[in-house]
Amino acid sequence: MNTEDVSRRLFLIRSLTGVSSAWLALRLPEIISAQEHAHHAAQSEAPTKLEFFSAEQATEIEAVAAQIIPTDDTPGAREARVIYFIDRALTTFDKEKQPQYVKGLRELQVKQKKMFKNSAKFSSLSSDDQIKVLKSIEKSAFFETVRVHTIIGFFADPSYGGNYDKIGWKLIGFQDDFYFKPPFGYYDREYNEAK
């Protein structure tokens, strides 16, 4: 049992104050099992192997994703391992988007070579130049798909392979705890203090 399990059990006992201990003894295993099941997904190991992309393709897509949610003073799409999410989506629930990626990657390369004559790969351009290339394709269906996949991968349950270490959730201040207690935020604390 890790510390999170312990704290969750303690919480459950606290949240059930006012209930007779007999009732608690009867129901607790059922309630804990339901909660632990719900919590399990968020704890799963993320994949580290690519199944759809070649290493080269992954580098290119990862570079695009890293412009959509860049790394600055906080981690971005790259650190959140969004590339693993996209790879997994393309081999499971979003299979039909595979051709779009294959074609899109080809067109990305054509565009990049046209705009920057002697460049080898999109991923080896400077960040500013990458942004220029992406601005030129930002209305395309391919870019929109990568954008949406990057965002979903950044914020989805970590069991899907992205949002590594809950990087996406931490960025926005979201917590996936399965219980909270008041005060929830600044203004309800203020409200209750004034009362």
Task: Tell me: does residue 129 bind another protein (CB under 8 A).
Answer: no
Report the residue from 1, 2, 18, 118 that binds another protein according to the rule CB under 8 A.
18
Which one of the spans 48-56, 97-105, 115-123, 151-159 is the region binding another protein (CB under 8 A)? 151-159
Looking at 51-59, 65-73, 103-111, 115-123, which segment touches another protein (CB under 8 A)? 65-73
**Structure token pair of residue 192:** 């209750």
- Is 115 or 120 the residue whose CB approaches another protein more closely? 115
Contact 64, 140 (CB under 8 A): no
* Residue 169 engages another protein in binding (rule: CB under 8 A): yes
- Cα–Cα dist 165/163, whole Å: 6
Q: Is residue 190 a contact residue for another protein (CB under 8 A)? A: yes
Instruction: Tell me how far, at minimum, the Cβ of 3 lies from another protein, in Å.
Output: 18
State the CB neighbour count (10 A cutoff) for residue 165.
13
Helix (H, G, I), strand (E, B) or coil at 80: coil
Report d(CA 154, CA 149) in Å as an integer.
Answer: 8
**How many other CB atoms are found less than 10 A from the CB of residue 141?**
12
| 6, 33, 45, 98: which one binds another protein (CB under 8 A) | 33
Site for another protein contains 83 (CB under 8 A)? no
Spatial distance between the Cα atoms of 63 and 143, rounded to a whole number of angstroms: 12
In the list 121, 131, 136, 140, the residue contacting another protein (rule: CB under 8 A) is 131
Q: Is 67 in the site for another protein (CB under 8 A)?
A: yes
The answer to the question of residue 16 lying near another protein (CB under 8 A) is yes
Phi-psi region at 70: left, alpha or beta (left = phi > 0; alpha = psi -120 to 50): beta
H helix or E strand, kind and range, residue 151 = helix 141-155
Whether the bond between 182 and the residue before it is cis, its omega within 30 degrees of 0, is no
Q: Does 107 bind another protein (CB under 8 A)?
A: no
Three-state SS at 76: coil
User: What is the binding site for another protein (CB under 8 A)?
Assistant: 11-12, 15-16, 18-19, 23, 27, 31, 33-35, 37-38, 41-42, 67-70, 72, 74, 76, 93, 131, 134, 138, 147-148, 151-152, 154-157, 159-160, 168-169, 171-182, 184-188, 190-192
